[in-house]
Amino acid sequence: MKKDKKQKAKMPFRLNLLFLAVFLLFSLLVVRLGVIQIVYGDDYVSELERTENVTVNTSVPRGKMYDRYGNVIVDNVPLNAITYTRYSGTTAKEMLDTAEELNKLIKIDTKRVTDQDKKDFWLLNHPEEALEMLSDKEKELKPKEQYKLQISRVKQEDIEKIIGEDLKILAIFREFNSGMSLTPQIVKNKGVTKEEYARVSEHLDTLPGVEITTDWNRTYAYDETLQTVLGKVSSSDEGLPADQIDYYLARDYKRNDRVGKSYLEKQYEDVLQGQKAKVKNITHKGKVVETEVISEGERGKDLILTIDMELQLAAEEILEKELLARKRGGANRYLDRAFVVLMDPNTGEVLTMAGKQYVVDKKTGKSSVKDFALGNISTSYTVGSSVKGATILTGYQAGAIYPGSYINDQRMKIKGTPDKGSYSSFGSINDLTALQKSSNVYMFKTAIGIGGGHYVYNQKTGMDSEKAFSIMRNSFASFGLGVRTGIDLPNETAGIKGAEIKMPGKAMDFAIGQYDTFTPMQLAQYVSTIANGGNRMKPHLVKEIHNPINDSKSLGPVYQQIQPNVLNRLDMKDEWIKRVQTGFRMVMQPGGTGYANFSKADFQPAGKTGTAQAFYDGPNRVKGTPPEDTMNLSLVGYAPYNNPEVAFAVVVPWAYQRHQDHSMNKEIGYQVMDKYFELKKERQKADAKASDKVKK
């Protein structure tokens, strides 16, 4: 009995202890709730009602490009566009719901949807089935590893069912999901109709993140003319180039920004890009409740190019006409390109940079002529005698010859080598006649003298060919030959240097332009250096940069003028340069190699012709066979000879083989120069008429 009483006494004690514990815990809970409500209540209410200010940058049109006379070359055409901005906290389900609503309002292209996109879409719409794909052990893996397994297990038959409206919704969702957070992503900017634009505009309140805006596309007033030089801009789909993402991100670009990918568009990206518009979006619970424009933005600055588009078009027409004429009847089978550069020798402004290439479609067999202006800086060739002005001046400088030196032009025989000579034996000639007649022997003996040697029939020259190469290449570089010209375009080639510098015969070949290769632009810089009296001018394609204005028909104020840039001054006496100028003038006079084509010129030309024996190594060379012999043609010059205002260079690679001789280089040179002075006269007359009207 006593034992039962003790047990009964213990029970109420335990219950009381339990009730006490519950009471204390409940009291703590009440106190905690009171603290939350009384002390932190306002903070939590504020958090629930908190709004965020999110600043978003939107792209603006790029700057335009004009020619030197104000003709538009590159412009922007506006496009209606629909964008989506993903804000922090936006879930995939919310994005999918918005995509479904937007699909009711627009038509969308589904071609870019991939199987990977379909698998992601299927997993998003079948979360329970996606979870069942994983074993209990696999469910313990990291989310990324689970995702990889789920993707690999989505059946082909399941994704093939994603068609019709589902496929369209997926296409929109794909665009939503491809954008960076807080960065507007283009959903559609091609073929957005006025009806679509209006419908979306009316339903923006039910389409969180969706906006209507204006995008742009580059347009080219002269079609393909100069397009290889003007460059390209990435599309909204491409965004930043993959190999330069870090470079642009460090400069506050976004991954889907459109940038210049090549040449002028890339070279002047900093000024063409413009200032982005800034919009502050005020969000509440992930939804935009208010939009405030911080800055309207400003389209990119405009470029005034040095190019004369009327002259450019004329030069291209001349090149195309001459190419097609020479290709008729299957002759000149390797001839497929021609180039011409016109430059102001006093400023380095490039007036014309024309290149044409004859191509045959391998599938259809149809031929066409395409723009290849870029070849003026990206391809190089042996150019022959047109460089002999540099050889003569180098000879003066090295003490191998002096103005008025006479040399006997007869075929040369150096012990152990085949004989070499000019196309004709001229007898005793001086430096001026050597340029006028294009004597090879005069240049050979000059090169031997530069290398410290001496010519005796059928004996070794005793020249130091490495010394000769070093002196001549260094000297040629001061004219712009064999080095980059510095033109304001990326990816310019310096040409190719021959390797066998220990052979005297190769140094002699170099002296007549038949060893190293040079670009047409290098030739233009070289002849400009001689024309202006010894200044190597940096060639440039941009003349001015202008601030943009709203008036599409006018130019804004000048932001920057590109000043002439002298890269170096020839370390040579003025009388030496004038001597070579005289020789160049004689080339275009009776007895000169250019006289037949330039005899009727009234613009007083001076210049130097060139023909180089070369090996064909172009696109039509048969693999595994030795390159065939071919001839390259070139021509450099300027006018008027006594006060040069325009210099030019013509290069026609692989012009003919064996006995198919022609003078395409000279015909191109004459026609282009004649056109330059014809346009000059027409403009002077037009200016005079305009001036008379103003006076009246």
Which positions are catalytic?
Answer: 385
3-state secondary structure of 193: coil
Residue 350 CA to residue 646 CA, distance in Å, equals 10
Q: Which stretches of 16-99 are assigned E, i.e. beta strand?
A: 51-58, 65-66, 72-84
| DSSP type of residue 242 | G
Torsion of the alpha carbons at 300, 306, 311 and 316, rounded to the nearest 10: -70
Torsion of the alpha carbons at 419, 424, 426 and 427, rounded to the nearest 10: 40
CA distances from 600 to 69, 589, 597, 641, 664 (A): 29, 10, 8, 15, 17
For every residue of 371-439, DSSP letters joined together read E-TTHHHH--B--GGGGHHHHHHHHHHHTS--TT-EEEES-B-BTTS--B--SS--EEEEHHHHHHHT-
Inter-residue contact 238 to 257 (CB < 8 Å): no
Inter-residue contact 525 to 480 (CB < 8 Å): yes
- In this structure, the number of other CB atoms found within 10 A of the CB of residue 660 comes to 14
Which one-letter amino acid corresponds to residue 562? I
Residue 57: beta bridge partners?
Answer: 278
- Cα 350–chain centre separation: 17
Residue 214 CA to residue 186 CA, distance in Å, equals 10
Residue 173 CA to residue 192 CA, distance in Å, equals 18
Give the list of residues 6+ apart from residue 414 with CB closer than 8 angstroms, or none.
420, 455, 458, 459, 460, 461, 504, 505
How are beta strands 65-66 and 302-305 bridged, if at all? parallel
Buried b vs exposed e over 538-549: b needs ≥16 C-beta within 10 Å?
bbbbbbbbbebe
Residue 672 CA to residue 636 CA, distance in Å, equals 12
- The sign one gets for the Cα dihedral 458, 460, 466, 467 is negative
Residue 599 CA to residue 590 CA, distance in Å, equals 8
Inter-residue contact 515 to 501 (CB < 8 Å): no
In terms of Cα–Cα distance, which of 128, 132, 134 is closest to 149?
Answer: 134
φ, ψ of residue 173 in degrees (nearest 5): -60, -40
Q: How open is the CA angle 155-161-165, to the nearest 5 degrees?
A: 140
- In this structure, the number of other CB atoms found within 10 A of the CB of residue 231 comes to 23
How are beta strands 646-656 and 337-343 bridged, if at all? antiparallel
Q: Is 190 left (phi over 0), alpha (psi -120 to 50) or beta?
A: beta
Q: Is 189 left (phi over 0), alpha (psi -120 to 50) or beta?
A: alpha
Give the list of residues 6+ apart from residue 436 with CB closer than 8 angstroms, or none.
583, 586, 587, 589, 591, 592, 593
Residue 324 CA to residue 356 CA, distance in Å, equals 11
Q: How open is the CA angle 83-84-86, to the nearest 5 degrees?
A: 155
In terms of Cα–Cα distance, which of 61, 490, 55, 104 is closest to 236?
Answer: 61
Give the list of residues 6+ apart from residue 274 with CB closer than 8 angstroms, or none.
60, 61, 62, 63, 297, 298, 299, 300, 301, 548
